[in-house]
Amino acid sequence: MKMSNKAYDILKKVALIVLPALATLWLTVGKIWNLPYTTEIGATVTAVAVFLGACLEVSSKNYYMGE
């Protein structure tokens, strides 16, 4: 199944900008306000961003190799 360019661009922006920014915001605000599960949520968001980035890299390599 091939991904459209628009979907790829949106997911890339989410993986590279939105999720890391969200994790940083959550970790910072959580520490300031003593929110529960600050570290766990921040780590989870970061893990999702890394996983999504890895999947997009595989997709990109497959695209350029003609698969």
pLDDT per residue, tens digit, the chain (67 aa), is 678 889 999 999 999 999 999 999 999 999 999 999 999 999 999 999 999 999 999 888 877 777 5
pLDDT reported for residue 1: 66
In whole angstroms, give the CA distance from residue 55 to residue 60. Answer: 9
Q: Tokens representing 22?
A: 């969200």
pLDDT reported for residue 58: 87
pLDDT reported for residue 63: 77
Backbone angles phi, psi at 63, to 5 degrees: -65, -50
The pTM is what? 0.86
Count of domains forming the chain: 1
In whole angstroms, give the CA distance from residue 30 to residue 45. Answer: 14
Range of the domain at 21: 5-64
